[in-house]
Structure 1
Amino acid sequence: MTEPDSLWCKVVKARCETRGGSSWWNDITSACVLEGWNWFENGAQKLVREGNDTAFWTESWLGNESLQSRFPRLYNLSKQKRYSVKNMGMWSNGVWHWDFKWRRSLRGREEAWLEELMGMLMFENANEEGDSDSDPAFASIWTVCAPSNVRAFVWRLLLDRLPTRDNLRRRHLLGEDDDARCPLCQQADETSEHLFSLCPVTTRLWSACYAWRGMQSVLSASVREHFLQFPMIGRSKKQQAGEWALWMSLVWTVWMLRNKVVFQGANVELENTSKLIQVKSWQWVKAKVDGFSYSWFEWRSNPSACMDLL
């Protein structure tokens, strides 16, 4: 069902479909295909284990489609089209390193696709290692009034699984001579801690966010600690979820800004970025919290007062 063009499948079909066909075979094929839709093929996912028998590009082992289908340009540029998952990298000091080989250097949008692919691979690796749902930071992520893709992004951020330049270099996807500096400030290597906590551009956005909330705070260098400290003391769980939506809107907007700078050569505009953070957080809370009826004007004027009444 999953390898219709393979030799073994052709042999089985030839033996079972001759002279009216085997009733056993007919039962299998009819059960797998209902009203023209192959639920087995579309719903099954291969168990990779060590990756010896799983083709990296052409089999659906990472999600519901093959990486060849999801990233056709990268597949065409790859020199490893027939490699198994296991042969696409190596272990070094207990850490798995992906080792991609291309027919030429990647450029422009191709680099963005590679970063998306690396994000998927990091997410899968974190799933295999097990997350930290017992940790209050990770347990809180799923309660936040934010879109599911943003919460998954923050989950990866707290695990340090985002494809920052520092992470890409440590996984040998950037060379030692490649630029690993923060795209927003060009003053330090782009680690998660730097990009979301220490970068001068980001710290100005955090300062504007705290001023908008009518607060002052010392920014923690630890992304996890800052996430936990962000809600005001004494907030209910519902109010905390609303405030964490604001936190997530800022880090998500910073990541989107970073990608625009890297891949589109965009300029950093702090005022517009701050307004976008406010708009996103209002949209998310309004969409996710029952009974939230505050207008954009009320939210922009006093978000803390809106939170008080959640």
Structure 2
Amino acid sequence: FFSNVRWQIGEVSSIKFCMDSWLVTEPLKTAFRCLFVISAQKKEVISNMGWFEGNVWRWALSWQRELVTEEITQLNLLQGLLQHHHPVKAARDRIIWSNSRGFTVKSLLTEADKLSNGEAVFDSLVGTVWKKIAPPKVEFMLWLALLGKLNTRDMLVKKGILDQQANLCIFCSEQPETIDHLLLQCHLSWQVWCNVAQGLRIQIERQMTFRQFYDVWMSQQYSHSLRKKFHIAAFFAVSWSLWTARNKKNFEQQEVHLDTLCHLIRWRIIWWSKAWKEYNPYSTEELVRNFDSIPILFS
């Protein structure tokens, strides 16, 4: 019986993505065990695993760390299934009876094609933030930023919480406070990025969007694992520091000073590094004092 049962996923689904049997004949936590172990969304319902852009469902799978080769192979298989089985706009969860004689991936894809209204795409970039290099709240903030769901003034205007007149960057008061402007394009923000990048000897170019900037930054390769982590931590620290500085100015009227903010970012990067598993012979004070020497110390 169960081999002939299929789920059509509704727009607001209560089905648990990993825990319930909805995609194959067993829960995904069993069918894709190695992915379940590193998932950052073990108990989430399907509705929280992505969002609609028009009629297109965008899957956003998140992981606790970077995937290795075997896990990437499993992810490709899972994505192949999810491409044809996803929430349907304005629909409800319901069980569909299939005429297939038994479950196979081919029969699932064939049946799912009949059910699919709209399309599904994958946002693989957002899942790369869960690296355990920065505190969880920092990774979560960056995750929201990459999803385009950070509550900037522009977002609050779109939600009807603020008037259009209030949609100006808290730093420069010249442009709408979008995620791209606040975290990258604003003159103050770009000065911060350049300051930190110069200290770590990172060559950067201003990208059109914050997502593109993140993608380019993370593509940099290093042979030394600690050097790579400092590189990644710098992105997290700058993003988090800009966001918290914005909030303090917005809610507490605290002025933002470039030198102070850049010094705080350096402290954050070094402080976070003390929680990493790699051996680091230098003290926090030594690394902060010699921040510009990190590329040499960990080359």
Which range, TM-score by smaller chain? 0.5 to 0.7
Residue matched to 2:60: 131
Residue matched to 1:114: none
CA deviation profile, 1:71-100 (whole Å, cap 9, x unmatched): xxxxxxxxxxxxxxxxxxxxxxxxxxxxxx
Residue matched to 1:190: 177
Residue matched to 2:189: 202
Residue matched to 1:46: none
Match of 1:305 among 289, 296, 299: 296
| Structure 1: distance between partners of 2:156 and 2:137 | 21
Residue matched to 1:142: 130
Matched, 1:181 2:162: no
Question: Which of 1 and 2 has higher RCO (CA within 8 Å, sep 6+)?
Answer: 2
The Cα shift of 1:279 comes to 0.4
The Cα shift of 1:228 comes to 2.1
Matched, 1:280 2:276: no
| Alpha-carbon spacing, 1:249–1:196, altered in 2? closer, same or farther (3 Å) | same
Residue matched to 1:246: 234
What secondary structure, in the 3-state scheme, does the structure 2 residue paired with 1:162 have?
A: coil
Which structure: larger Rg? 1
The Cα shift of 1:137 comes to 2.8
What residue identity is the alignment partner of 1:270? Answer: L
| Alpha-carbon spacing, 1:170–1:126, altered in 2? closer, same or farther (3 Å) | farther
Residue matched to 2:159: 171
What residue identity is the alignment partner of 2:167? Answer: A
**Percent identity between the aligned chains?**
22
TM-score normalised by length of structure 2: 0.57
| Structure 2: distance between partners of 1:217 and 1:144 | 24
The Cα shift of 1:237 comes to 8.6
Structure 2 unaligned residues grouped into runs of 5+: 1-11, 15-45, 52-58, 63-121
| Structure 1: distance between partners of 2:135 and 2:222 | 22
| Alpha-carbon spacing, 1:280–1:303, altered in 2? closer, same or farther (3 Å) | same
The Cα shift of 1:227 comes to 1.3
Alignment of 1:203-242 (within 5 A): 203-231=190-218, 233-236=220-223, 238=225, 239-242=227-230
What secondary structure, in the 3-state scheme, does the structure 1 residue paired with 2:144 have?
A: helix
The Cα shift of 1:231 comes to 4.7
TM-score normalised by length of structure 1: 0.55
CA deviation profile, 1:31-78 (whole Å, cap 9, x unmatched): xxxxxxxxxxxxxxxxxx589xxxxxxxxxxxxxxxxxxxxxxxxxxx
What secondary structure, in the 3-state scheme, does the structure 1 residue paired with 2:166 have?
A: coil
What secondary structure, in the 3-state scheme, does the structure 2 residue paired with 1:145 have?
A: coil
